[in-house]
């Protein structure tokens, strides 16, 4: 169980590192450079470890491009652009809407039924986000808005929705026999290239969009690559051998709290009582939403444990 908290603490540190990096580099350049480097490193690792996996079928090209577009370019680009104007803890909190968006998208597009308890959990969960979204941060002053949502908040919400479609595409590729690491490697390079093109059009290159300390930019980029692309990727896979996907998704709600802690310590960001009140309401909504799966599957992946005995 301790490793689960380690995993989401590391995920939380990535939000803090990203916010620090955004003080020294433009968002789409930060995303693009990080993803291209991470993708190259992943493919080099595969080349050394098992080069037979470095094969891409023609039928995989379109899903790979979609994965790069949604899971890398839109998810990270929109998230980082929004985080430029929001606190890292608020960004992480909004991003944790992903399970709710996944349920709504499955209901709308896949015609999956929602029980009354799940529907109640969704309503409570969305309601819990309102206090956090209602309160504007200093960075949001002057931004365009739609109702109570600033453009930065809408951008992070779009990122949360895009990642849902991205993971559906990833699941399809893996089910067709592609290595997850290969899919990640290629999608990171392609999506990173999309982000760099976006950066070249919208961000000032003089000679590149690093407007602060090169050392801070390099340190935060390397931290995000090491933690997100290598350690968390492998640790998540390891934990799925013991714990169910449902329990892992439910546990992911701890990430905003770790982000708030690290950002308070490293960046001096403060979190008011409204954040914790919203978190409590969203937690209740998540618990109701996942209660049926947790009862059915439990916490531990019993099939894997049986295969090991």
Name the residue among 205, 220, 185, 191 with its Cα closest to residue 78.
191
Amino acid 306: pLDDT: 54
Between 134 and 215, where is the model more confident? 215
Query: Given this model, what pLDDT does residue 15 score?
Result: 95
Task: Answer whether residue 308 shows pLDDT above 70.
Answer: no
| Listed ranges 139-143, 228-232, 234-238; the one with the highest mean pLDDT | 228-232
Between 159-173, 207-221, 233-247, 275-289, the lowest mean confidence (pLDDT) is in 233-247
Identify the three-state secondary structure at position 269. Answer: coil
How far are the Cα atoms of 99, 203, 280 from residue 36, in angstroms, in the given order?
A: 27, 18, 38
Q: Would you state the pLDDT for residue 305?
A: 47
Work out the percent of the chain whose per-residue pLDDT is above 70.
93
pLDDT greater than 60 at residue 235: yes
Give the span between the Cα atoms of 192 and 290, in whole angstroms: 34
pLDDT for 63-122, tens place per residue? Answer: 999 999 999 999 999 999 999 999 998 999 888 878 777 777 777 766 777 788 888 888
Of 130-139, 146-155, 158-167, 260-269, least confident by mean pLDDT is: 130-139
* pLDDT greater than 80 at residue 245: no
Res. 16: pLDDT tops 80:
yes
Could you give the CA distance from residue 80 to residue 130 in angstroms, rounded to a whole number?
A: 21
| pLDDT of 230 strictly over 70 | yes
Domains of the chain, residue spans: 2-308
- Does 199 have pLDDT greater than 70? yes
Check whether 243 has a pLDDT greater than 70: yes
Locate all alpha helices (DSSP H) within 138-272, ordered by sequence: 151-175, 180-202, 214-224, 233-240, 245-251, 255-266
Note the pTM of the prediction, 2 decimals. 0.87
For residues 167-195, average pLDDT: 88
Q: Where is pLDDT greater, at 95 or 53?
A: 95
Q: Give the per-residue pLDDT at 70.
A: 94
Is it the case that residue 228 has pLDDT exceeding 80?
A: yes
**pLDDT (0 to 100) of residue 301:** 65
Q: Which residue has the tokens 């905003």?
A: 256
Q: Give pLDDT tens digits for 277-294.
A: 888 898 898 888 888 777
């Amino acid at each position: 169980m301790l490793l689960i908290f380690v995993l989401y603490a590391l995920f939380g540190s990535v939000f803090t590192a990203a916010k620090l990096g955004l003080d020294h580099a433009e968002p789409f350049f930060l995303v693009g450079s990080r993803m291209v480097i991470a993708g190259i490193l992943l493919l080099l690792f595969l080349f050394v470890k098992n080069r037979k996996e470095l094969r891409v079928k023609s039928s995989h090209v379109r899903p790979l491009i979609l994965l790069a577009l949604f899971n890398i370019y839109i998810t990270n680009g929109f998230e980082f652009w929004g985080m430029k104007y929001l606190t890292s803890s608020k960004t992480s909190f909004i991003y944790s809407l992903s399970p709710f968006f996944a349920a709504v998208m499955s209901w709308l597009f896949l015609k999956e039924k929602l029980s009354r308890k799940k529907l109640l959990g969704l309503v409570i969960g969305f309601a819990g986000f309102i206090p956090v979204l209602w309160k504007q941060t200093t960075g949001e002053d002057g931004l365009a808005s739609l109702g109570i949502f600033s453009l930065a908040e809408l951008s992070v919400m779009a990122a949360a929705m895009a990642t849902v479609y991205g993971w559906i595409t990833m699941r399809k590729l893996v089910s067709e026999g592609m290595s997850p690491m290969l899919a990640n490697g290629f999608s990171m390079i392609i999506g990173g290239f999309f982000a760099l093109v976006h950066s070249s059009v919208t961000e000032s290159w003089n000679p590149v969009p690093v407007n602060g300390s090169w050392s801070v930019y390099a340190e935060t980029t390397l931290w995000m690559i090491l933690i997100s692309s290598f350690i968390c990727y492998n640790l998540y896979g390891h934990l799925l051998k013991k714990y169910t996907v449902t329990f892992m998704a439910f546990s992911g709600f701890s990430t905003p709290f770790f982000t708030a802690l690290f950002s308070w310590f490293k960046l001096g960001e403060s979190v008011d009582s409204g954040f914790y009140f919203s978190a409590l309401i969203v937690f209740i909504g998540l618990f109701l939403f996942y209660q049926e799966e947790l009862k059915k599957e439990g916490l531990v992946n019993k099939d894997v444990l049986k295969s090991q005995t």
